[in-house]
Chains A and B, each alone.
Chain A
Amino acid sequence: MNLAKILKRTAVAATLSAAVVSYAQDIKLGFNGDLSASPSAQSGKAGVIGIEAAIADINAAGGVLGRKLTLVVRDDQSQPPKSIQNMSDLIDNEKVVAVFGPTNSGNALAWRHIPNQKKIVSMGMIGSGTDITKPMSPGADNYMFRVSMVDREQVAALVTYASKLPKKTIGLMGETTGYGQGGLKDLEEILKLHGMSAVATEKFGVADTDMTSQLNKMKAAGVDTILLWAQGTPIGQLMRSMEKINYFPMVLTSWAADNITFFDAAGKNLAGKPIFMRTMVSPSTPAQKKLYERTASKLAAPSAFPFVIHGYDAVLLVAEAIKQSGGTDGAKMKDALENLNAAVNGMMKTYNKPFSKIDHEALTASDLSFVKWNNDQLVGYTDNIIKSMSVGDYKR
């Protein structure tokens, strides 16, 4: 080997290692969720907008531990196999230190073993399925965290509300998808905790256009309060079927009713009837309003804004975990999240020790608000029962 060759090789090696050093200075974060295929894709897009906004703000303030944050985005098109593949790609090839998403709860359930095996923090900020943040086995280390709506928490609040109604004959309704059936199961279990039960339980298909038969059974059973778990469009079709037979019991339903697809399907007059829960009513604090102004033009509908907030706060929490653990080791970040020393001043609220070893939900029932539609706006809903409710009344 002659001298020139050796020099050349040294130069190449030096350039390479320099590249590795500058590469290591940035901290890579990942997003894996539906951005294009299902109607929930709007929520995924809003979440990414929030994540990007938080990263921009953190970088502008000097980054984390002096390093800049970057984001790698992967669209899973709402398909579980694609979502699993993305997860491995982000962790193994892109070497991200934490993953945000997914959009659809089912996909998180399909891949939650991956971050747990690879010891990489997954911070959910969209999907609300109750089981997502459960450990793989009791007592096992758990890398699944969430700062978003949780189905079980909504159910807890809605059932508490129903339990305090002076007169109630309760019926349960749900669509025959995993989402609807999971919600029905939560509803039945929590009703039991309150010592109540439903006099009728009815199901319908997600694409059904006429549910008058099921509703007539509810009517015959004397149901005056329906607890309903379904996606936006079928909730709208159910309201239209109620109109057909002129039967309007009180409807307490899932937060899917906040989706514009529900409003469109039900129409202005019927959309105002159901009461449901949301992580926020509308941007209210100065910081939220500022973020809304910054991002509104990129949102498909204003009702998608909560996902911007959750995406934003998810980044703040992960950044704090990196800061506290002094690096990007996944196991240390998980431990830091489970025991955050500093309060994190988020968009939604100030997070004081949001997680523990057994609790991986940053938001709980007390963070949720009752809402309903008023024309095409979502507004807060309150009455004497809601005023009299306290978190201590909730049973889970």
Chain B
Amino acid sequence: MESILQALISGLAVGSAYSLVALGFSVTFTTTKTLNFSHGEFVSAGAFIGMSVLFFAVGKLPTSTSFGGADPGTMAQLGALLGSLAVMGLIGWLLFVLGVRPFAKRPGMAWVMSTLGFGVILQSVGLAIWGPKPVVVPSPVGDDVIRFLGLGIRPQEILMLGVSVVIMVVFDHVMRKSMMGKAMRAVAQNQSVASLMGINVNRVMVGAFVISSAMAGLSGFLLAPIAQASLFMGLAVGLKGFSAAMVGGLSNARGCVMGGFILGVLESFVNLWSAQWREVAIFGLVILVLAFRPNGLFGTSTVEKV
């Protein structure tokens, strides 16, 4: 029983990372019908920007490879969070202006290639600056295991879990209730009509990419103390996050977060059975969902009116 509860709670913790990434995919999709296929690399970049701010705060070069037990403190952690949000938001704006907008209206998949290319560039620049070694990043909420009823979880995992739920609620509310959300959905539905209704389409699209990339920065910042900051950390989490969005429903925030939790818990339960079948189970589920519920378990089917 204890091991099942532990698997559940560990799975939720792992799944919350997937949820945040899935939300990042969802934001641009619900607005522009395009995706940043380098979202995973953006997560890595966000982690390294946060890490560099922390290194700076403890008086080390941003290219150092170890904190050596130094604790940067709350203000520095806050600075790191703001730093990765701001820098990644800026990179998101660049991505849209340089990599998506010029291609989005053209037929074909040029924007897919250009977002992928953007990720390769980010990773290569990162490797040139920081090198390949993973760095252990101190957590803003401490590292001592919290125990209850014989179960254990780390504070950073609880933080990530909480943040993903809060962001889900906020997004859900904004998308359904606020004017901004309506504008975003309108842009996704029909750009020219939205434009005629007085919506600044360009601004909404830029906003979506900035928010999505800032979310990647947030994911990186939160994930680094758990998984270590590494330029390759984004690859796996990006793919799993995208799968989570597929399972839950790319076009709705609740679905994305639930999809992340479902994948995380499934992974953890498969580990209880036989870990080598884990990836088979995950991607098997993704294929099943795509076959029977193409809009995801929580997605509503869109009816194209002609």
Contact = CB atoms under 8 A, between A and B. Distances in A.
Interface of A: 36-39, 41-42, 176, 202-205, 207, 209-214, 216-217, 219-220, 233, 240, 243-246, 260-261, 264-265, 267-268
A39 B134 contact: yes
27 contacts: A42-B133, A176-B276, A203-B275, A203-B276, A205-B278, A207-B236, A209-B14, A209-B226, A209-B227, A210-B10, A213-B7, A213-B10, A213-B268, A213-B275, A216-B3, A216-B7, A220-B3, A244-B153, A245-B151, A261-B133, A261-B134, A264-B66, A264-B135, A264-B136, A265-B134, A265-B228, A267-B136
A211 B238 CA distance: 20
B132 interface: yes
A257 B63 CA distance: 24
Contacts of B6: 212-213, 216, 244-245
Given A210-B13, A217-B272, A233 B132 contact: no
B190 interface: no
Given A220-B3, A245-B150, A268-B69, 16 more contacts: A203-B276, A204-B275, A205-B275, A207-B227, A207-B236, A210-B10, A210-B14, A212-B7, A212-B152, A217-B272, A233-B228, A240-B154, A243-B152, A245-B151, A264-B136, A267-B136
Contacts of B153: 244
Chain B residues touching A, range: 35 or more
Contact of B233 (A207, A220, A244): A207
Given A233-B228, A245-B152, A268-B69, A212 B275 contact: no
Contacts of B14: 209-210
B143 A267 contact: yes
Residue among A203, A267, A268 with most chain B CB within 10 A: A203
A166 to B, nearest CB: 28
Interface of B: 2-3, 6-7, 10, 13-14, 66, 69, 132-136, 143, 145, 147, 150-154, 226-228, 232-233, 236, 268-269, 271-272, 275-276, 278
Given A244-B153, A245-B6, A264-B66, A216 B228 contact: no
B10 A39 contact: no
B271 A211 contact: yes
B7 A214 contact: no
Nearest to A244: B152
Contact of B132 (A37, A209, A220, A268): A37
Contacts of A268: 69
Residue among A216, A265, A267 with most chain B CB within 10 A: A216
A245 B276 CA distance: 22
A220 B232 CA distance: 34
B65 to A, nearest CB: 8
B268 A210 contact: yes
Contact of B271 (A41, A213, A245, A246): A213
A203 B2 CA distance: 21
A315 B269 CA distance: 51
Nearest to B9: A212
Residue among B136, B151, B233 with most chain A CB within 10 A: B136
Contacts of B10: 210, 212-213, 244
Contacts of B133: 39, 42, 261
Given A205-B278, A264-B66, A264-B136, A243 B145 contact: yes
Residue among A204, A213, A261 with most chain B CB within 10 A: A213
B271 A244 contact: no
A210 B7 CA distance: 9
Given A204-B275, A207-B236, A243-B152, A213 B269 contact: yes
